[in-house]
Chain A
């Protein structure tokens, strides 16, 4: 809980809900007849709507990217390290939009919402989404907010995939794309991790083929396992050694199967916390969207041709110990952009923190991010710059 709101925080924020009546045809061919998107904004939109930045969230993120909902909040939004007055995404200059993606479980229409056609909760019948479906729905939110073109679209991991998709789906609507710790498509190993996580959920007796709400239960153990697996793939060997080593909770071995090592209780804690806040059907959907993402597939598997459509400048960032979205994957994006003759800058940040690094305030990472966003800000006419929000 913050006793006082820090100066570099966007402060107290209130999420907003936008309803959409116009049906959305999805990549799968199915149609969402209507839907809601939950979003937050930070900073002010300037008079010619040229200072808007879209934040795309990763697997378990949501619309609450920065600031606090109340003075009782223990933690600020998930990317508070990067968004705020004077931070990399400077809310004194930019109007920042963050939303909960369709299929999410934080207020936007998803598996826990009521299906208007049946009058019952969607549950496992919620259509499986692709990254492009999110981008299409985000574009409609931009229309509502009066944003013709984003100054920048920014995201890490699965969020970075949305950024790439934006740049080729709506080339004329993106000036800058910031793609962090991402990949042009998942590897077989990565899909395999997702499938193990999904199976952990699906095989939980409380899952009931996704209809758990009818049984007034949740597949807690499955979600815990999925999150534990995910979590350890987001960390590096080094980070785990430094953080936990072989430290024991009680200082000595107990010769039982209860968690004894610190690393075990950490994973249990993370899994437990996640299983009570996150919806299992949403987790299944989000991992599927990750697996399906492969924008080059529509262009004869040629990423260069695919990215040739874009008109924006790119910043690509990776982290040395990230093995879930390794630097080599980011370099595939960079090389394709170079071959497509696009403006791109790339940095591989030294870090021990694995994939998690993209959410941490690593000084070199923040310096580069800030330098790039200042370049984005410099392209916005000064007299139209947003006023400092109170």
Chain B
């Protein structure tokens, strides 16, 4: 789940300079550290992995040990400009409730997640009859932290039901790179989705 530079490049286009950021599942703090340097943002990362928390502190990033599954009630309504969550939506217990929380706290949110409708995933299931595994999804069905896989269409349906507006979306391959072929048929050819959403 390392955040790669292309991923960052896409996200940073949507982050306003000098804004306040909350990064859910911030890992070693590379995104926040990047945004701090390039966009002069302020903000906090939430993380539960001990080694990653230490790494954040070493990276000079504000990190708070907090389990996303226990809620975000300690953050006030509209207290953050942009709430970001990279590659963690599928790993939380209730992605739908967490999305609500993200847009309660933040004016906008940026979410990235793996596409379960990616053509390789579809063919894996179709041909092998087994739960798909890949470099992006390297786990067995029984030990995977990715407990709520969805496709781009699933995600967009959920947004529609919740009245969430999609401001921008980009689809990338497993190297987090955009490619013209992906733009032709994103729900099939895109491996990772990057959505920029709001309730306003």
Contacts and interface: CB of A to CB of B under 8 A. Distances in A.
Q: Do A and B bind each other?
A: yes
A342 to B, nearest CB: 9
Contacts of B75: 338
Interface residues of B, number: 20
A371 interface: yes
B64 A368 contact: no
A375 B60 contact: yes
B65 A348 contact: yes
B65 A375 contact: no
Contacts of A343: 42, 62
Interface stretch (B48-56, B89-97, B156-164, B166-174): B48-56
A345 B50 contact: no
Given A346-B64, A346-B65, A368 B74 contact: no
Given A343-B42, A364-B54, A375-B60, 10 more contacts: A335-B74, A341-B20, A344-B64, A345-B56, A345-B63, A346-B63, A346-B65, A367-B54, A368-B53, A375-B58
Contacts of A346: 63-66
Contacts of B44: 338, 344
A347 B76 contact: no
A347 B58 contact: no
B79 interface: yes
- The SS class assigned to the A binding surface is helix
28 contacts: A334-B64, A335-B74, A338-B64, A338-B74, A338-B75, A341-B20, A341-B42, A343-B42, A343-B62, A344-B62, A344-B64, A345-B53, A345-B57, A345-B61, A345-B63, A345-B64, A346-B63, A346-B64, A346-B65, A346-B66, A347-B57, A347-B65, A348-B65, A368-B57, A371-B58, A374-B58, A375-B57, A375-B58
Interface in A330-389: 331, 334-335, 338-339, 341, 343-348, 350, 364, 367-368, 371-372, 374-375
B65 A372 contact: no
Nearest to B76: A339
Contacts of A348: 65
Interface of A: 315, 331, 334-335, 338-339, 341, 343-348, 350, 364, 367-368, 371-372, 374-375
Given A331-B74, A341-B42, A371 B62 contact: no
A347 B65 CA distance: 5
Give 8 closest A-B pairs by Cβ, nearest first.
Answer: A371-B57, A371-B58, A346-B64, A335-B74, A347-B65, A345-B63, A367-B54, A348-B65
Contacts of A374: 58
A89 B54 CA distance: 16
A375 B65 CA distance: 18
Interface string B78-109: 01000000000000000000000000000000
A120 to B, nearest CB: 51
Given A344-B62, A346-B64, A371 B74 contact: no
Contacts of B62: 343-345
